[in-house]
Amino acid sequence: DTEVTQTPKHLVMGMTNKKSLKCEQHMGHRAMYWYKQKAKKPPELMFVYSYEKLSINESVPSRFSPECPNSSLLNLHLHALQPEDSALYLCASSQGSGAIGEKLFFGSGTQLSVL
């Protein structure tokens, strides 16, 4: 069982829709992440929030908009997506100190299909 909870598990949306992915953790972690994973590829980092501030944006298109309302919650707002954005979107968290050996804990992901 993962301690990082993501909703919804599956999402189908049209290119004109607006939707949001949600992520929650109660481990007291101060760093939270969004990753995108295509089939048979490794996860690709999109965003990192550290202590509720956006610390890394890996040049992600503006149709993806992250939000961190508090230290336990992370959202990813989606608007005007393209079919090639279809992928598994993974949320992860870590303690947030950036220390050596700090581990990532992943949620079970949202499988997104853009039609």
What is the spatial distance between Cα 73 and Cα 67, in angstroms, rounded to a whole number? Answer: 8
Determine if 66 is a binding residue for another protein (CB under 8 A). no
CA pseudo-torsion sign 3, 7, 11, 16 = negative
Determine if 45 is a binding residue for another protein (CB under 8 A). yes
**Residue from 115, 110, 103 nearest 29 by CA:** 103
Determine if 59 is a binding residue for another protein (CB under 8 A). no
Q: What is the DSSP string of 81-104?
A: --GGG-EEEEEEEE-SS--TTPPP
Write the interaction track for another protein spanning residues 96-115; mark x where CB under 8 A is met and - where it is not. x-x-xxxxxxxxxx-x----
Determine if 31 is a binding residue for another protein (CB under 8 A). yes
Contacting positions for another protein (CB under 8 A): 2, 31, 33, 41-43, 45, 48, 50, 55-56, 88, 90, 94, 96, 98, 100-109, 111
